Amino acid sequence: MGPWIVGGAWLAIGGRKVDLLYRSIDEVTDIVGACRNGEISMHYQPGHPHGFCSAIWMGEIALCRPLHDPDGLIAALKAKTAPYPPALREALLRRFRWEILFAIENAELALPRGDSTQIAGCAYRALACLAQVLFALNGQYLINEKGALAQAGNFPMTVRDLATRVAEVWRQIGAGQHATAMQTLRELDSDVQKICRAD
* pTM of the predicted protein model: 0.95
User: Which residue segment(s) compose the domain that 106 sits in?
Assistant: 8-198
- In the chain, how many domains are there? 1
Percent of the chain surpassing pLDDT 90:
91
Give alpha helix (H) positions in 37-161: 55-63, 73-78, 86-109, 116-137, 148-152
The pLDDT tens digits of the residues spanning 49-100 come to: 999 999 999 999 999 999 999 999 999 999 999 999 999 999 999 999 999 9
Confidence of residue 19 (pLDDT cuts 50, 70, 90): confident
Flag whether 69 is in a domain: yes
Residue 165 has pLDDT above 80, yes or no: yes
Q: Is residue 2 assigned to a domain?
A: no
pLDDT of the residue at 3: 84
Question: Which residues have CB under 8 Å from 39's CB, separation 6+?
Answer: 91
Whether residue 1 lies inside any domain: the answer is no
* Residue 3 placed within a domain: no
Q: Which residues fall within 8 angstroms of residue 96, CB to CB, at 6 or more apart?
A: 129, 130, 132, 133, 136
Comparing C-alpha atoms, which of 87, 77, 95 is closest to residue 139?
A: 87
Q: Is residue 116 one of the residues assigned to a domain?
A: yes
